[in-house]
Amino acid sequence: MSLRTRASLAATAAATLVLALSACAAPGDAQPSAASGPITLTFWHEMTGPAATELDALVSQFNEREAGAITVEASYQGSYADAQTKYTAAVQSGSTPDVLMMNDTSTGFLLDSKKTVPLSSFTDADASFSADSFPPIVRSYYDDGSGGLAAMPFSVSQPVLYVDRALATQAGLNPDTPPTTLAEISSWAEKIHAATGAYGFSMNMADSWMLEEMSAAGGELFCTPDNGRGSDRATGLQLTSPTQVGFMTTLQKLFLDGTALNPSTDNSAMVSAFATGKVGLMLTSSGAYTTADPQKTASKVAAFPRTSNSADAGVVIGGNALWISGDGHSSAQQSAAYAFVSFLHSADVQAAWANATGYLASHTGAGATAIGAQMLADPNAKAMADQLANTPATTASAGCRTGALPALRPTVIGAFTKVVEGADVTDTMRDAENQAAQQIAAYNQAAG
């Protein structure tokens, strides 16, 4: 089966899921009466390893605080894709969780499903809520279309530049004044490769995330129209603007002349190569920090490079958010769910979460806590926090919103893989634009 066929089927399947969700019950269906006694909440998540351990600890902390009133029962649901499939089945059986953790790229899907309650429904009546507790770019990503939040942002990440100090120094470069543009990165990579024999550069190639980020870092939209954030749904992708063709051409040269390491879909191998001194510069998630530099001394972490001088340039966030289920959940359950997700957003919790997991704190006050201040004493951690705080909230940096996005990413990276191997940039990416338009049209038609 071809990549195009697989991606088209994935888009159609995603649209079918939305259609199934929307057909189960309409917004405003009668809700069960509010519970009069203690409330038990079901919470679905997809965390593993240290993140799962920390999340369990936070749930226990909340349960102790709310003893006799609210008990949260957390359960692991597998990957994000697994959780989305299970959530669809749960809607059909009337057994959705009270709170659902879901990744950033599924935001459009969940909004289209109309099975969750906008967070703004609760924050509008909460005098203690402050929109300023979120960095502007975080609010922008999860905007519900009316200036409020659709869900509670929880885990936040952004792409950053990692510089191997030893390799840069060996090439006569100062790692403490790292490159700020992709053109400068290209120059540094070539110098590192020539002077050391190591790869000068590598980047996340598991999907199209880096291409989306480089588009935003040039002030370019990835989805049209308006990144899917205006009054109309997204109907296509933009992949062939002069800025986009320019940065893809720069990348193509690095890969073709052997300066860049192509990790294909194996990001762990790429991070391992960087950690062992085999790659000079790396573009990937802020969440890779503890693996890329376990001792926090071998690397310099810097802001993601710009690809143009546009005033709209910024960096899109990744991560996940917490969604409160609507149909079938009483007002008391929903209010308890809001109390839980608000706890997880608190400054102390976000500082602890960031410290334990490598995610960036989504609360602007986290750095003022004891744990947060200790964490930000590391210049690299501070650089990542500063980028998040200073990213402007523009249409470009808000990122693409369409329920078809998870299926579009394989289409885009499949085309870019051909570019890396020498295919014509404009022709190849225009073909990807055409394929993506068909996938989005199929999704939009099924979603209604």
Q: What percent of the chain has pLDDT over 70?
A: 92
297-313 tens-digit pLDDT:
999 999 999 999 999 99
Distances in Å between the Cα of 174 and the Cα atoms of 167, 188, 252, 261, 275 are 10, 10, 25, 22, 19
- Cβ proximity of 406 and 106 under 8 Å: yes
Of 145, 180, 138, the C-alpha closest to 318 is: 138
- Cβ proximity of 440 and 234 under 8 Å: yes
169-198 tens-digit pLDDT:
999 999 999 999 999 999 999 999 999 999
What pLDDT is stored for residue 6 in this prediction? 42
Q: Assess whether pLDDT exceeds 90 at residue 337.
A: yes
Q: Assess whether pLDDT exceeds 90 at residue 21.
A: no
What pLDDT is stored for residue 164 in this prediction? 98
- Cβ proximity of 96 and 87 under 8 Å: yes
Q: Global pTM?
A: 0.92
Class of residue 405 by CB neighbours under 10 A (exposed 0-12, middle 13-18, buried 19+): buried
* Dihedral over alpha carbons 423, 243, 413, 160 (to 10 degrees): 130
- Cβ proximity of 285 and 161 under 8 Å: no
Q: Where are the alpha helices (DSSP H) in 315-424?
A: 331-345, 347-357, 370-376, 379-390, 395-398, 405-420
What pLDDT is stored for residue 24 in this prediction? 44
30-63 tens-digit pLDDT:
333 344 579 999 999 999 999 999 999 999 999 9
Q: Which residues, at least 6 apart from 302, have a Cβ–Cβ distance to it below 8 Å?
A: 160, 161, 163, 178, 179, 180, 383
Q: Assess whether pLDDT exceeds 70 at residue 150.
A: yes
Average pLDDT over residues 211-215: 98
What pLDDT is stored for residue 11 in this prediction? 47
Superfamily assignment of 159-316+399-447 in CATH?
A: Periplasmic binding protein-like II (3.40.190.10)
Average pLDDT over residues 391-420: 97
Q: Which tops the pLDDT comparison, 23 or 382?
A: 382
Backbone angles phi, psi at 139, to 5 degrees: -60, -40
Q: Assess whether pLDDT exceeds 50 at residue 9.
A: no
What pLDDT is stored for residue 256 in this prediction? 98
To which H or E segment does residue 438 belong? helix 425-447
Strand partners, 417: none
Beta-sheet strands, E only, within 88-187: 99-103, 116-117, 152-157, 159-164
Q: List, by residue range, all CATH 3.40.190.10 domains of the chain.
A: 8-24+37-157+317-395, 159-316+399-447
Average pLDDT over residues 4-27: 45
Q: Assess whether pLDDT exceeds 60 at residue 10.
A: no
What pLDDT is stored for residue 37 in this prediction? 72
Give me the chain's average pLDDT, please.
92
97-117 tens-digit pLDDT:
999 999 999 999 999 999 999
In the chain, the largest separation of any two C-alpha atoms, in whole Å, equals 71
To which H or E segment does residue 431 belong? helix 425-447
- Cβ proximity of 388 and 360 under 8 Å: yes
Average pLDDT over residues 330-348: 98
Average pLDDT over residues 406-423: 97
237-295 tens-digit pLDDT:
999 999 999 999 999 999 999 999 999 999 999 999 999 999 999 999 999 999 999 99
Of 409, 421, 398, the C-alpha closest to 206 is: 409
Number of C-alpha atoms within 13 angstroms, CB side, residue 76? 10
Q: Assess whether pLDDT exceeds 80 at residue 20.
A: no
User: Check: CATH 3.40.50.1220 for 8-24+37-157+317-395?
Assistant: no
Q: Assess whether pLDDT exceeds 60 at residue 66.
A: yes
